[in-house]
Amino acid sequence: MEHVKDDKKLVKEIKRILKNDGILIIDSVIKKPFALYK
């Protein structure tokens, strides 16, 4: 999600295709624990 131009559009599309009882799992690589990226 961090490289998507329109994150709101992405979330709307995920909501549209995910079943009502569906589960979305998102993972991201973080080089340092508790690191903050801008």
pLDDT digits (tens, 9 = 90+) for 1-38: 778 899 899 999 999 999 999 999 988 777 776 666 55
Q: Report the length, in residues, of the chain.
A: 38
CA atoms of 35 and 31, how far apart (whole Å): 8
pTM above 0.85, yes or no: no
Using DSSP, state whether 24 is helix, strand or coil: coil
Position 26 scores a pLDDT of 85
Position 21 scores a pLDDT of 93
CA atoms of 24 and 14, how far apart (whole Å): 8
